[in-house]
Amino acid sequence: MGSVDQDLSAETEVYLGCPAWLGALGAGNRFLKLRDEFRRGISFKVGDGSVFLLWQDPWHPLGILIKRYPRAPRVTRLHERTLLQEVIHGGEWVWPRPTAAEVMQIMTITPPIQGGPDAIEWNANRGSFSASSALELFQPHPPPVDMHGPCRDKTGNRIST
């Protein structure tokens, strides 16, 4: 089984993969930047671990673990292509060699195991994907305005109300 990126890119190149023809046109790097922005709209729900690759899929809040901890597969003796289910037993995280620094860092913020199959979910627009909800990810958002604070002029002086 391939990583989530590889499996889904063949099906939906638009959001996780970079089609070869974009690279040939010189647009590959720009597309990859868009892909990273698009990923902000999705989350990875850890279920039984039968779909996500432990080291190569971005299921963990730290991102793709092999990039952050390249020694971790060797230290834990878990192959780079290991499925997440190898560290999930009875709905609980069970890590080999938990004294290794890499494993201890990974364990500090593991997401909850939610049962069922692993899944990728759309976060924007109340979970319902649409072109406008995807476009929203790329729109700049103005900083929040404090409506309860004092009014000030251009120089920063307080205005009496």
Q: Are residues 7 and 52 in the same domain?
A: no
State the Cα–Cα distance between residues 106 and 127, nearest whole angstrom. Answer: 27
- The answer as to whether 153 is a domain residue is no
Assess whether 35 and 55 both reside in one domain. no
Instruction: Give the total number of structural domains in the chain.
Output: 2
| Residue 120 structural domain | 42-125
In this structure, the answer to whether residues 46 and 73 fall within a common structural domain is yes
Residues 120 and 60 in one domain: yes
pLDDT at 161: 60
Q: How confident is the model at residue 34 (pLDDT cuts 50, 70, 90)?
A: low
Let me know whether 31 and 71 are in one domain. no
Q: How many helices (H) and strands (E) does the chain have?
A: 7, 4
For the chain, the distance separating the N- and C-terminal CA atoms, rounded to the nearest angstrom, is 65
Structure confidence by residue, pLDDT tens digits, 5-33: 444 333 333 334 444 444 444 545 555 56
Which one has a higher pLDDT value, 123 or 71?
Answer: 71
The answer to the question of residue 63 being in a domain is yes
pLDDT in tens, 68-120: 999 899 988 999 999 999 999 999 999 887 777 888 888 888 999 998 999 88
Asked if residue 8 is part of any domain, the answer here is: yes
**51 and 110 housed in the same domain:** yes
